[in-house]
Amino acid sequence: MNTVQQTVDFRATPAQLFEIYLDSKKHSAATLAKASMSRKAGGEFTAFDGMLAGRNLIVVPNQLIVQAWRATHWKKSDPDSILVLKFRKTKGGGRVELLHTNLPDHDFHGVKKGWPHYYWRPWRAFLKKNA
């Protein structure tokens, strides 16, 4: 199993970044794909028109999200991956620190490339448009 670590800075507060991920409407608008997000531990979520699914393990408002996360095309024998998103304040705005572990070999590169392609770049466009 593999791990992806990424740190991305945005011109937005940690609270704004947290909301873009955990608010269903904002997540959908930012990624241009339907998402249904729960805001509480134990709550389930789907993203990218149902292609991603899982459940929240820990939610600390504006600071931390930990999820059991999987893509629907993964094999049934693949265990859930664990996604940790930390939201921190920076001089210019906010930072997302991502740790995504327990990724299956067959999708590691797709997930690693997917975060910048499907999240970080679209988030920048969303923030610019909604500033």
pTM: 0.96
Q: What is the pLDDT of residues 23-59, one digit of tens each?
A: 999 999 999 999 999 999 999 999 999 999 999 999 9
Measured distance CA(130)–CA(126) in Å, rounded: 6
Q: pLDDT-derived band of residue 1, with 50, 70 and 90 as boundaries?
A: confident
- Residue (of 96, 101, 77) closest to 86 by Cα position: 96
What CATH number is attached to the domain comprising 56? 3.30.530.20
CB distance 21 to 97 below 8 Å? no
- In tens, the pLDDT along 51-101 reads 999 999 999 999 999 999 999 999 999 999 999 999 999 999 999 999 999
Q: How many domains does the chain have?
A: 1
C-alpha–C-alpha distance, residues 96 and 81, integer Å: 18
Let me know: does 58 contact 64? Beta carbons within 8 Å.
Answer: yes
Rounded Cα–Cα distance for residues 72 and 99 (Å): 20
Range of the domain at 115: 2-129
